[in-house]
Structure 1
Protein backbone atom coordinates (compact mmCIF):
# COMPACT_ATOMS: atom_id res chain seq x y z
CA UNK A 1 0.00 0.00 0.00
CA UNK A 2 1.49 3.35 -0.98
CA UNK A 3 0.82 6.10 1.55
CA UNK A 4 -0.11 9.23 -0.39
CA UNK A 5 -0.13 11.80 2.39
CA UNK A 6 3.17 13.20 3.61
CA UNK A 7 4.45 11.27 6.60
CA UNK A 8 4.08 13.01 9.97
CA UNK A 9 7.34 14.33 11.36
CA UNK A 10 6.05 14.19 14.93
CA UNK A 11 3.87 11.50 16.50
CA UNK A 12 2.87 12.42 20.05
CA UNK A 13 1.81 9.63 22.41
CA UNK A 14 -0.44 10.60 25.31
CA UNK A 15 -2.54 8.65 27.83
CA UNK A 16 -6.16 8.52 26.69
CA UNK A 17 -7.07 8.59 30.39
CA UNK A 18 -5.63 12.10 30.81
CA UNK A 19 -8.12 14.79 29.73
CA UNK A 20 -5.62 17.60 30.33
CA UNK A 21 -3.09 15.98 28.00
CA UNK A 22 -5.78 15.57 25.34
CA UNK A 23 -6.79 19.21 25.61
CA UNK A 24 -3.17 20.35 25.45
CA UNK A 25 -2.53 18.19 22.37
CA UNK A 26 -5.11 20.25 20.48
CA UNK A 27 -2.94 23.32 21.06
CA UNK A 28 0.32 21.76 19.87
CA UNK A 29 1.84 21.48 16.42
CA UNK A 30 2.09 17.69 16.52
CA UNK A 31 1.43 16.14 13.12
CA UNK A 32 -0.07 12.99 14.63
CA UNK A 33 -1.67 12.50 18.06
CA UNK A 34 -1.69 8.92 19.36
CA UNK A 35 -4.21 8.27 22.14
CA UNK A 36 -2.73 5.44 24.17
CA UNK A 37 -4.79 2.65 25.71
CA UNK A 38 -1.81 0.40 26.40
CA UNK A 39 1.29 1.07 28.54
CA UNK A 40 0.37 4.60 29.60
CA UNK A 41 -2.93 3.52 31.18
CA UNK A 42 -3.38 1.67 34.48
CA UNK A 43 -5.27 -1.62 34.35
CA UNK A 44 -8.11 -0.21 36.43
CA UNK A 45 -8.50 2.76 34.06
CA UNK A 46 -8.65 0.88 30.74
CA UNK A 47 -12.41 1.13 30.22
CA UNK A 48 -12.45 4.83 31.09
CA UNK A 49 -9.52 5.48 28.77
CA UNK A 50 -11.21 3.59 25.93
CA UNK A 51 -14.33 5.74 26.15
CA UNK A 52 -12.22 8.91 26.42
CA UNK A 53 -10.17 7.97 23.36
CA UNK A 54 -13.26 7.44 21.23
CA UNK A 55 -14.76 10.74 22.42
CA UNK A 56 -11.52 12.62 21.72
CA UNK A 57 -11.13 11.08 18.27
CA UNK A 58 -14.73 11.90 17.42
CA UNK A 59 -14.19 15.51 18.48
CA UNK A 60 -11.06 15.61 16.36
CA UNK A 61 -7.73 17.40 16.59
CA UNK A 62 -8.11 19.97 13.85
CA UNK A 63 -5.59 19.46 11.06
CA UNK A 64 -3.70 16.88 13.11
CA UNK A 65 -4.04 13.20 12.37
CA UNK A 66 -5.36 11.04 15.18
CA UNK A 67 -4.58 7.44 16.07
CA UNK A 68 -5.54 5.15 18.93
CA UNK A 69 -3.05 2.62 20.26
CA UNK A 70 -4.94 -0.45 21.37
CA UNK A 71 -3.74 -3.19 23.68
CA UNK A 72 -1.83 -6.15 22.22
CA UNK A 73 -3.58 -9.13 20.67
CA UNK A 74 -2.92 -11.30 23.75
CA UNK A 75 -4.43 -8.75 26.14
CA UNK A 76 -7.81 -9.16 27.76
CA UNK A 77 -8.63 -5.60 26.67
CA UNK A 78 -7.85 -6.19 23.01
CA UNK A 79 -11.32 -7.17 21.78
CA UNK A 80 -13.10 -4.23 23.40
CA UNK A 81 -10.39 -1.87 22.18
CA UNK A 82 -10.80 -3.13 18.63
CA UNK A 83 -14.57 -2.71 18.68
CA UNK A 84 -14.23 0.82 20.06
CA UNK A 85 -11.66 1.89 17.48
CA UNK A 86 -13.71 0.45 14.62
CA UNK A 87 -16.62 2.69 15.61
CA UNK A 88 -14.52 5.81 16.18
CA UNK A 89 -13.44 8.65 13.91
CA UNK A 90 -9.70 8.12 14.41
CA UNK A 91 -7.52 8.06 11.30
CA UNK A 92 -5.30 5.13 12.30
CA UNK A 93 -5.09 2.25 14.72
CA UNK A 94 -1.73 1.54 16.37
CA UNK A 95 -1.01 -2.08 17.29
CA UNK A 96 1.82 -2.79 19.75
CA UNK A 97 4.25 -5.70 19.63
CA UNK A 98 3.32 -6.90 16.14
CA UNK A 99 5.04 -10.20 15.37
CA UNK A 100 3.15 -11.57 12.38
CA UNK A 101 1.67 -10.41 9.10
CA UNK A 102 -1.44 -12.38 9.98
CA UNK A 103 -2.11 -10.34 13.10
CA UNK A 104 -1.55 -7.10 11.19
CA UNK A 105 -3.94 -8.14 8.43
CA UNK A 106 -6.62 -9.26 10.88
CA UNK A 107 -6.54 -6.00 12.84
CA UNK A 108 -6.57 -3.77 9.77
CA UNK A 109 -9.53 -5.68 8.36
CA UNK A 110 -11.44 -5.85 11.65
CA UNK A 111 -11.31 -2.15 12.44
CA UNK A 112 -11.36 -0.79 8.91
CA UNK A 113 -8.58 1.68 9.70
CA UNK A 114 -5.05 1.98 8.30
CA UNK A 115 -2.68 0.26 10.71
CA UNK A 116 0.53 1.59 12.23
CA UNK A 117 2.41 -1.50 13.40
CA UNK A 118 4.84 -1.24 16.30
CA UNK A 119 8.01 -3.31 15.90
CA UNK A 120 9.18 -3.94 19.46
CA UNK A 121 10.57 -7.47 19.66
CA UNK A 122 13.29 -9.52 17.95
CA UNK A 123 10.66 -11.56 16.10
CA UNK A 124 8.91 -8.38 15.02
CA UNK A 125 12.17 -7.08 13.54
CA UNK A 126 12.82 -10.35 11.71
CA UNK A 127 9.38 -10.34 10.05
CA UNK A 128 9.07 -6.55 9.64
CA UNK A 129 9.13 -6.79 5.84
CA UNK A 130 6.22 -9.24 5.87
CA UNK A 131 4.24 -6.97 8.20
CA UNK A 132 4.96 -3.89 6.08
CA UNK A 133 3.74 -5.66 2.94
CA UNK A 134 0.26 -6.31 4.39
CA UNK A 135 -2.48 -4.30 2.61
CA UNK A 136 -3.82 -1.82 5.14
CA UNK A 137 -0.53 -1.31 6.97
CA UNK A 138 0.35 2.37 6.61
CA UNK A 139 3.53 2.53 8.65
CA UNK A 140 5.96 0.94 11.09
CA UNK A 141 6.95 2.40 14.46
CA UNK A 142 10.15 1.29 16.14
CA UNK A 143 9.50 0.51 19.82
CA UNK A 144 13.00 1.18 21.11
CA UNK A 145 12.36 0.70 24.83
CA UNK A 146 10.90 -2.77 24.39
CA UNK A 147 13.55 -3.62 21.82
CA UNK A 148 16.31 -2.72 24.24
CA UNK A 149 14.75 -4.87 26.94
CA UNK A 150 14.03 -7.87 24.73
CA UNK A 151 17.49 -7.75 23.15
CA UNK A 152 19.18 -7.59 26.54
CA UNK A 153 20.89 -4.28 25.81
CA UNK A 154 22.44 -2.81 28.99
CA UNK A 155 21.11 0.46 30.38
CA UNK A 156 23.12 3.37 29.09
CA UNK A 157 24.21 1.65 25.88
CA UNK A 158 24.21 3.95 22.89
CA UNK A 159 22.04 3.94 19.79
CA UNK A 160 24.62 1.91 17.91
CA UNK A 161 23.36 -1.14 19.80
CA UNK A 162 20.03 -0.75 17.99
CA UNK A 163 21.39 0.16 14.57
CA UNK A 164 20.62 -3.12 12.84
CA UNK A 165 17.09 -3.30 14.25
CA UNK A 166 16.32 0.33 13.37
CA UNK A 167 17.70 0.06 9.85
CA UNK A 168 15.72 -3.15 9.33
CA UNK A 169 12.51 -1.31 10.22
CA UNK A 170 13.33 1.43 7.70
CA UNK A 171 14.23 -1.10 4.99
CA UNK A 172 10.96 -2.96 5.53
CA UNK A 173 8.93 0.24 5.34
CA UNK A 174 10.69 1.51 2.23
CA UNK A 175 10.30 -1.83 0.45
CA UNK A 176 6.51 -1.47 0.77
CA UNK A 177 6.46 2.34 0.35
CA UNK A 178 4.95 3.03 3.77
CA UNK A 179 5.93 5.31 6.65
CA UNK A 180 8.67 4.63 9.19
CA UNK A 181 8.87 6.27 12.62
CA UNK A 182 11.81 6.31 14.99
CA UNK A 183 11.21 5.39 18.63
CA UNK A 184 10.80 7.65 21.65
CA UNK A 185 13.50 9.61 23.47
CA UNK A 186 12.96 9.14 27.20
CA UNK A 187 14.75 12.17 28.66
CA UNK A 188 12.38 15.12 29.00
CA UNK A 189 15.00 17.74 29.90
CA UNK A 190 17.64 17.08 27.25
CA UNK A 191 16.74 18.92 24.03
CA UNK A 192 20.29 18.60 22.72
CA UNK A 193 20.18 14.83 23.17
CA UNK A 194 16.78 14.68 21.51
CA UNK A 195 18.01 16.76 18.57
CA UNK A 196 21.02 14.48 18.14
CA UNK A 197 18.85 11.37 18.20
CA UNK A 198 16.44 12.91 15.70
CA UNK A 199 19.31 13.72 13.35
CA UNK A 200 20.50 10.14 13.67
CA UNK A 201 16.99 8.85 12.96
CA UNK A 202 16.66 11.01 9.89
CA UNK A 203 20.08 9.85 8.69
CA UNK A 204 18.82 6.25 8.95
CA UNK A 205 15.86 7.18 6.77
CA UNK A 206 13.01 7.54 9.27
CA UNK A 207 10.19 9.91 8.32
CA UNK A 208 9.56 11.18 11.82
CA UNK A 209 9.86 10.64 15.55
CA UNK A 210 7.59 9.16 18.20
CA UNK A 211 7.35 11.56 21.15
CA UNK A 212 6.20 11.38 24.77
CA UNK A 213 5.92 15.06 25.69
CA UNK A 214 4.71 18.20 23.87
CA UNK A 215 8.01 19.94 24.69
CA UNK A 216 9.73 17.55 22.26
CA UNK A 217 7.61 18.51 19.25
CA UNK A 218 9.48 21.60 18.08
CA UNK A 219 12.90 19.93 18.23
CA UNK A 220 11.74 16.84 16.34
CA UNK A 221 9.81 18.81 13.71
CA UNK A 222 12.86 20.91 12.95
CA UNK A 223 15.18 17.90 12.75
CA UNK A 224 12.90 15.98 10.39
CA UNK A 225 12.14 19.01 8.25
CA UNK A 226 14.48 20.42 5.59
CA UNK A 227 17.16 22.94 6.57
CA UNK A 228 17.56 26.28 4.81
CA UNK A 229 20.59 24.87 2.98
CA UNK A 230 18.64 21.82 1.83
CA UNK A 231 15.76 24.00 0.63
CA UNK A 232 18.05 26.28 -1.37
CA UNK A 233 19.83 23.29 -2.91
CA UNK A 234 16.55 21.62 -3.85
CA UNK A 235 15.18 24.77 -5.46
CA UNK A 236 18.39 25.30 -7.44
CA UNK A 237 18.48 21.69 -8.62
CA UNK A 238 14.87 21.78 -9.82
CA UNK A 239 15.47 25.07 -11.64
CA UNK A 240 18.59 23.73 -13.35
CA UNK A 241 17.24 20.32 -14.38
CA UNK A 242 16.21 19.97 -18.02
CA UNK A 243 15.46 16.23 -18.09
CA UNK A 244 17.43 13.01 -18.18
CA UNK A 245 20.95 12.54 -16.89
CA UNK A 246 22.98 15.76 -16.81
CA UNK A 247 25.80 17.54 -15.01
CA UNK A 248 24.82 19.83 -12.13
CA UNK A 249 27.32 21.56 -9.82
CA UNK A 250 30.07 19.08 -10.64
CA UNK A 251 27.93 15.99 -10.14
CA UNK A 252 25.49 13.93 -12.17
CA UNK A 253 21.75 14.21 -11.60
CA UNK A 254 18.74 12.54 -13.18
CA UNK A 255 14.95 12.36 -12.71
CA UNK A 256 15.27 10.59 -9.35
CA UNK A 257 17.17 13.55 -7.88
CA UNK A 258 14.55 16.01 -9.10
CA UNK A 259 11.80 13.91 -7.52
CA UNK A 260 13.72 13.83 -4.24
CA UNK A 261 14.11 17.60 -4.33
CA UNK A 262 10.38 18.10 -4.92
CA UNK A 263 9.56 15.72 -2.06
CA UNK A 264 11.84 17.70 0.23
CA UNK A 265 10.19 20.99 -0.70
CA UNK A 266 6.79 19.46 -0.01
CA UNK A 267 7.90 19.13 3.61
CA UNK A 268 8.04 22.90 4.10
CA UNK A 269 4.41 23.19 2.99
CA UNK A 270 3.32 20.45 5.39
CA UNK A 271 0.72 21.77 7.88
Structure 2
Protein backbone atom coordinates (compact mmCIF):
# COMPACT_ATOMS: atom_id res chain seq x y z
CA UNK A 1 0.00 0.00 0.00
CA UNK A 2 1.12 3.55 -0.58
CA UNK A 3 2.18 5.68 2.37
CA UNK A 4 -0.92 7.86 2.30
CA UNK A 5 -3.08 4.74 2.51
CA UNK A 6 -1.17 3.17 5.38
CA UNK A 7 -3.31 2.85 8.52
CA UNK A 8 -1.91 4.60 11.59
CA UNK A 9 -4.75 4.00 14.03
CA UNK A 10 -2.52 2.67 16.80
CA UNK A 11 1.12 3.71 17.27
CA UNK A 12 2.69 1.94 20.26
CA UNK A 13 5.81 3.06 22.10
CA UNK A 14 8.14 0.13 22.89
CA UNK A 15 11.34 0.47 24.98
CA UNK A 16 14.25 -0.39 22.70
CA UNK A 17 16.15 -1.84 25.66
CA UNK A 18 13.63 -4.58 26.51
CA UNK A 19 14.02 -7.79 24.44
CA UNK A 20 10.75 -9.24 25.76
CA UNK A 21 8.82 -6.12 24.75
CA UNK A 22 10.47 -6.14 21.34
CA UNK A 23 9.47 -9.76 20.89
CA UNK A 24 5.88 -9.25 22.05
CA UNK A 25 5.45 -6.31 19.67
CA UNK A 26 5.67 -8.74 16.75
CA UNK A 27 2.32 -10.23 17.80
CA UNK A 28 0.35 -7.07 18.60
CA UNK A 29 -2.38 -5.69 16.34
CA UNK A 30 -0.79 -2.26 16.04
CA UNK A 31 -0.40 -0.29 12.84
CA UNK A 32 2.95 1.22 13.82
CA UNK A 33 5.63 0.86 16.49
CA UNK A 34 7.84 3.58 17.90
CA UNK A 35 10.97 1.84 19.13
CA UNK A 36 12.05 4.25 21.83
CA UNK A 37 15.67 5.05 22.58
CA UNK A 38 14.73 8.24 24.43
CA UNK A 39 12.37 8.52 27.42
CA UNK A 40 11.80 4.79 27.89
CA UNK A 41 15.51 3.97 28.24
CA UNK A 42 17.57 5.02 31.30
CA UNK A 43 20.94 6.69 30.66
CA UNK A 44 23.05 3.69 31.62
CA UNK A 45 21.21 1.45 29.12
CA UNK A 46 21.14 3.73 26.09
CA UNK A 47 24.25 2.42 24.36
CA UNK A 48 23.24 -1.22 24.83
CA UNK A 49 19.69 -0.41 23.68
CA UNK A 50 20.99 0.52 20.23
CA UNK A 51 22.49 -2.95 19.81
CA UNK A 52 19.40 -4.67 21.21
CA UNK A 53 17.15 -2.80 18.81
CA UNK A 54 19.39 -3.35 15.79
CA UNK A 55 19.36 -7.09 16.44
CA UNK A 56 15.56 -7.13 16.80
CA UNK A 57 15.05 -5.22 13.55
CA UNK A 58 17.54 -7.46 11.75
CA UNK A 59 15.53 -10.48 12.89
CA UNK A 60 12.38 -8.70 11.61
CA UNK A 61 9.03 -10.44 12.13
CA UNK A 62 7.16 -7.12 12.45
CA UNK A 63 5.12 -7.73 9.33
CA UNK A 64 3.30 -4.71 7.87
CA UNK A 65 3.73 -2.58 11.00
CA UNK A 66 5.49 0.73 10.36
CA UNK A 67 8.83 0.68 12.22
CA UNK A 68 9.82 4.09 13.59
CA UNK A 69 12.83 4.65 15.85
CA UNK A 70 12.78 7.57 18.27
CA UNK A 71 16.28 8.77 19.02
CA UNK A 72 17.49 11.10 21.74
CA UNK A 73 17.74 14.81 20.97
CA UNK A 74 20.76 15.69 18.88
CA UNK A 75 22.03 18.06 21.57
CA UNK A 76 21.97 15.26 24.17
CA UNK A 77 24.97 13.02 24.93
CA UNK A 78 23.41 10.18 22.89
CA UNK A 79 21.59 11.82 19.98
CA UNK A 80 24.31 11.88 17.34
CA UNK A 81 25.36 8.27 17.94
CA UNK A 82 21.68 7.25 17.97
CA UNK A 83 21.25 8.85 14.55
CA UNK A 84 24.35 7.11 13.21
CA UNK A 85 23.08 3.77 14.50
CA UNK A 86 19.54 4.20 13.15
CA UNK A 87 20.90 5.04 9.70
CA UNK A 88 22.09 1.43 9.51
CA UNK A 89 18.98 -0.20 10.99
CA UNK A 90 16.12 -1.86 9.13
CA UNK A 91 13.69 0.88 10.14
CA UNK A 92 11.09 2.73 8.08
CA UNK A 93 11.65 6.14 9.68
CA UNK A 94 13.51 8.02 12.40
CA UNK A 95 11.63 10.14 14.95
CA UNK A 96 13.33 13.26 16.28
CA UNK A 97 12.20 14.67 19.65
CA UNK A 98 11.53 18.32 20.48
CA UNK A 99 11.65 19.63 16.92
CA UNK A 100 11.54 23.43 16.98
CA UNK A 101 12.07 24.14 13.27
CA UNK A 102 13.12 22.68 9.91
CA UNK A 103 16.81 23.25 10.74
CA UNK A 104 16.53 20.43 13.29
CA UNK A 105 15.41 18.07 10.54
CA UNK A 106 18.23 19.24 8.27
CA UNK A 107 20.73 18.46 11.03
CA UNK A 108 19.31 14.95 11.45
CA UNK A 109 19.26 14.28 7.71
CA UNK A 110 22.97 15.04 7.49
CA UNK A 111 23.48 11.82 9.46
CA UNK A 112 20.51 9.63 8.50
CA UNK A 113 20.61 10.44 4.79
CA UNK A 114 17.44 9.75 2.83
CA UNK A 115 15.64 7.91 5.64
CA UNK A 116 12.14 9.36 6.15
CA UNK A 117 11.83 11.58 9.21
CA UNK A 118 9.05 12.00 11.74
CA UNK A 119 8.95 14.96 14.13
CA UNK A 120 7.91 15.06 17.78
CA UNK A 121 5.78 18.18 18.17
CA UNK A 122 6.04 19.03 21.85
CA UNK A 123 7.32 22.57 22.37
CA UNK A 124 5.83 26.05 21.92
CA UNK A 125 8.51 26.80 19.32
CA UNK A 126 7.51 23.67 17.42
CA UNK A 127 3.85 24.71 17.43
CA UNK A 128 4.69 28.12 15.98
CA UNK A 129 6.89 26.56 13.28
CA UNK A 130 4.54 23.68 12.47
CA UNK A 131 3.95 24.69 8.85
CA UNK A 132 7.66 25.03 8.08
CA UNK A 133 8.36 21.69 9.76
CA UNK A 134 5.56 19.93 7.84
CA UNK A 135 6.90 21.33 4.57
CA UNK A 136 10.31 19.68 5.00
CA UNK A 137 10.91 17.36 2.02
CA UNK A 138 11.91 14.38 4.18
CA UNK A 139 9.12 14.67 6.73
CA UNK A 140 6.59 11.84 6.59
CA UNK A 141 4.76 12.40 9.85
CA UNK A 142 4.22 14.33 13.07
CA UNK A 143 3.72 12.91 16.56
CA UNK A 144 2.09 15.09 19.19
CA UNK A 145 4.03 15.09 22.45
CA UNK A 146 1.19 16.33 24.62
CA UNK A 147 2.82 15.59 27.97
CA UNK A 148 5.86 17.72 27.18
CA UNK A 149 3.73 20.41 25.59
CA UNK A 150 1.55 20.66 28.69
CA UNK A 151 4.67 20.95 30.83
CA UNK A 152 6.12 23.70 28.63
CA UNK A 153 2.82 25.60 28.74
CA UNK A 154 2.43 25.13 32.50
CA UNK A 155 -1.05 23.95 31.62
CA UNK A 156 -3.46 22.24 33.99
CA UNK A 157 -4.84 18.82 33.11
CA UNK A 158 -8.36 18.93 31.71
CA UNK A 159 -10.24 16.02 30.20
CA UNK A 160 -11.32 18.23 27.29
CA UNK A 161 -7.66 19.25 26.63
CA UNK A 162 -8.66 22.86 26.04
CA UNK A 163 -5.24 24.23 27.10
CA UNK A 164 -3.62 22.20 24.29
CA UNK A 165 -6.09 22.98 21.53
CA UNK A 166 -4.13 25.84 19.98
CA UNK A 167 -1.05 23.64 19.54
CA UNK A 168 -3.01 20.61 18.39
CA UNK A 169 -4.83 22.73 15.84
CA UNK A 170 -1.71 24.38 14.46
CA UNK A 171 -0.05 21.00 13.92
CA UNK A 172 -3.16 19.49 12.35
CA UNK A 173 -3.46 22.38 9.92
CA UNK A 174 0.21 22.08 8.99
CA UNK A 175 0.08 18.32 8.49
CA UNK A 176 -3.04 18.45 6.34
CA UNK A 177 -1.73 21.38 4.30
CA UNK A 178 1.45 19.50 3.43
CA UNK A 179 0.07 15.97 3.19
CA UNK A 180 1.97 14.36 6.05
CA UNK A 181 0.63 11.95 8.66
CA UNK A 182 -0.17 13.17 12.17
CA UNK A 183 -0.93 11.11 15.27
CA UNK A 184 -2.29 12.30 18.58
CA UNK A 185 -0.46 12.22 21.91
CA UNK A 186 -0.65 9.50 24.54
CA UNK A 187 -3.34 8.94 27.16
CA UNK A 188 -1.52 8.34 30.41
CA UNK A 189 -4.15 6.47 32.43
CA UNK A 190 -3.80 3.14 30.63
CA UNK A 191 -6.39 1.41 32.85
CA UNK A 192 -9.05 4.06 32.15
CA UNK A 193 -10.79 2.65 29.08
CA UNK A 194 -13.61 5.18 29.04
CA UNK A 195 -11.23 8.11 29.28
CA UNK A 196 -9.11 6.70 26.46
CA UNK A 197 -12.16 6.06 24.33
CA UNK A 198 -13.32 9.65 24.81
CA UNK A 199 -9.91 11.12 23.96
CA UNK A 200 -9.60 8.88 20.89
CA UNK A 201 -13.03 10.04 19.72
CA UNK A 202 -11.97 13.66 20.22
CA UNK A 203 -8.76 13.11 18.25
CA UNK A 204 -10.57 11.32 15.44
CA UNK A 205 -13.18 14.08 15.26
CA UNK A 206 -10.38 16.66 14.99
CA UNK A 207 -8.75 14.82 12.09
CA UNK A 208 -5.82 12.91 13.59
CA UNK A 209 -4.82 9.73 11.77
CA UNK A 210 -4.38 7.74 14.96
CA UNK A 211 -3.11 7.80 18.53
CA UNK A 212 0.17 7.04 20.20
CA UNK A 213 -0.14 4.46 22.97
CA UNK A 214 1.87 3.52 26.05
CA UNK A 215 0.39 0.09 26.76
CA UNK A 216 -0.89 -2.85 24.67
CA UNK A 217 -4.18 -2.72 26.59
CA UNK A 218 -4.99 0.49 24.69
CA UNK A 219 -4.67 -0.98 21.20
CA UNK A 220 -8.21 -2.26 20.58
CA UNK A 221 -9.84 1.01 21.61
CA UNK A 222 -7.57 3.07 19.35
CA UNK A 223 -8.01 0.71 16.41
CA UNK A 224 -11.79 0.91 16.71
CA UNK A 225 -11.87 4.69 17.17
CA UNK A 226 -9.75 5.52 14.13
CA UNK A 227 -11.27 2.99 11.73
CA UNK A 228 -14.42 3.68 9.71
CA UNK A 229 -17.47 2.21 11.44
CA UNK A 230 -19.89 -0.10 9.64
CA UNK A 231 -22.42 2.75 9.52
CA UNK A 232 -19.83 5.08 7.96
CA UNK A 233 -18.90 2.46 5.37
CA UNK A 234 -22.56 1.86 4.50
CA UNK A 235 -23.22 5.59 4.18
CA UNK A 236 -20.15 6.05 2.00
CA UNK A 237 -21.31 3.36 -0.40
CA UNK A 238 -24.80 4.80 -0.60
CA UNK A 239 -23.49 8.33 -1.16
CA UNK A 240 -21.27 7.19 -4.03
CA UNK A 241 -24.06 5.19 -5.66
CA UNK A 242 -26.60 8.01 -5.33
CA UNK A 243 -24.20 10.63 -6.67
CA UNK A 244 -23.18 8.50 -9.64
CA UNK A 245 -26.85 7.94 -10.45
CA UNK A 246 -27.55 11.68 -10.15
CA UNK A 247 -24.68 12.52 -12.51
CA UNK A 248 -25.92 9.93 -15.00
CA UNK A 249 -29.31 11.67 -14.90
CA UNK A 250 -27.76 15.07 -15.55
CA UNK A 251 -27.97 16.31 -11.96
CA UNK A 252 -25.12 17.97 -10.04
CA UNK A 253 -26.09 16.74 -6.57
CA UNK A 254 -27.82 13.80 -4.91
CA UNK A 255 -29.79 13.39 -1.69
CA UNK A 256 -29.06 10.65 0.84
CA UNK A 257 -30.88 10.39 4.18
CA UNK A 258 -32.30 13.87 3.64
CA UNK A 259 -28.89 15.49 3.12
CA UNK A 260 -27.31 16.97 0.02
CA UNK A 261 -24.42 14.95 -1.44
CA UNK A 262 -21.96 16.87 -3.62
CA UNK A 263 -18.63 15.89 -5.15
CA UNK A 264 -16.73 16.84 -1.99
CA UNK A 265 -18.86 14.40 0.03
CA UNK A 266 -18.17 11.69 -2.53
CA UNK A 267 -14.42 12.34 -2.27
CA UNK A 268 -14.67 11.83 1.50
CA UNK A 269 -16.76 8.70 0.96
CA UNK A 270 -14.14 7.24 -1.36
CA UNK A 271 -11.43 7.98 1.22
CA UNK A 272 -13.51 6.15 3.84
CA UNK A 273 -13.77 3.05 1.66
CA UNK A 274 -10.09 3.22 0.75
CA UNK A 275 -9.12 3.39 4.42
CA UNK A 276 -11.38 0.45 5.23
CA UNK A 277 -9.79 -1.59 2.45
CA UNK A 278 -6.27 -0.71 3.61
CA UNK A 279 -7.09 -1.77 7.17
CA UNK A 280 -8.50 -5.07 5.96
CA UNK A 281 -5.43 -5.69 3.79
CA UNK A 282 -3.08 -4.95 6.67
CA UNK A 283 -5.03 -7.22 9.03
CA UNK A 284 -4.74 -10.03 6.52
CA UNK A 285 -0.93 -9.84 6.38
Give TM class, smaller chain.
over 0.9
Contact 1:245 1:252 in 2 (8 A): no
Q: Which residue does the alignment assign to 1:80? A: 81
- Decide which moves more: 143-152 or 102-111: 102-111
Q: 1:109 Cα shift?
A: 5.0
The equivalent residue for 2:274 is: 266
What's the TM-score, normalizing by structure 2? 0.90
Moved more, 106-115 or 164-173: 106-115
Unaligned runs of 5+ in 2: none
Residues 243 and 254 of structure 2 are in contact (CA less than 8 Å); yes or no, is this contact kept in structure 1? no
Q: Spell out, residue by residue over 1:187-214, the C-alpha distance to the aligned partner (whole angstroms, 9 max, x if none).
A: 0111111010000001111000000111
Contact 1:97 1:120 in 2 (8 A): yes
Q: Cα 1:127–1:29, aligned 2, differ >3 Å: closer, same or farther?
A: same
CA drift at 1:236: 0.7
Question: Once structures 1 and 2 are overlaid, which stretch shifts more, 122-131 or 50-59?
Answer: 50-59
**Superposition RMSD in Å:** 1.6
Pick closer, same or farther for the CA change 1:178–1:31 going to 2, 3 Å.
same
Q: Which residue of 2 aligns with 1:246?
A: 253
Counting only pairs closer than 5 Å after superposition, residues 193-204 of structure 1 correspond to structure 2 as 193-204=195-206
Task: Identify the residue that residue 55 of structure 1 maps to in structure 2.
Answer: 55
C-alpha contact (below 8 Å) 1:246/1:254 kept by paired residues: yes
Name stretches of at least 5 consecutive residues in structure 1 with no aligned partner: none
Q: 1:111-130 counterparts in 2 under 5 A? A: 111=112, 112-130=114-132
Aligned residues: 270
Q: Could you tell me how far apart the structure 1 residues matched to 2:179 and 2:185 are?
A: 19
Greater C-alpha radius of gyration? 2
Shift of 1:156: 5.1
Alignment of 1:151-230 (within 5 A): 151-155=153-157, 158-230=160-232
Over residues 117-155 of structure 1, what are the superposed CA-to-partner deviations in whole Å (9 max), with x where a residue is unaligned?
A: 010000010001100000010011110000000000124
Deviations for 1:193-238, whole angstroms, at most 9, x for unmatched residues? 1010000001111000000111101100000011111111011111
Length-normalised TM-score, structure 1: 0.95
Measure the CA separation in 2 of the matches of 1:170 and 1:48. 36
Aligned partner of 2:143 in structure 1 is 141
1:3 touches 1:177 (CA, 8 Å); kept in 2?
Answer: no
In the alignment, the residues of structure 2 paired with residue 154 and residue 146 of structure 1 have an alpha-carbon distance, to the nearest angstrom, of: 12
Q: Structure 1 residue 30: deviation in Å?
A: 0.5
> Is 1:232 aligned to residue 240 of structure 2?
no
- Tell me the distance in 1 between the aligned counterparts of 2:46 and 2:107: 22
Distance (Å, rounded) in 1 between the aligned partners of 2:188 and 2:211 = 12
**CA 1:71 to 1:245, structure 2 compared with 1: closer, same or farther past 3 Å?**
farther
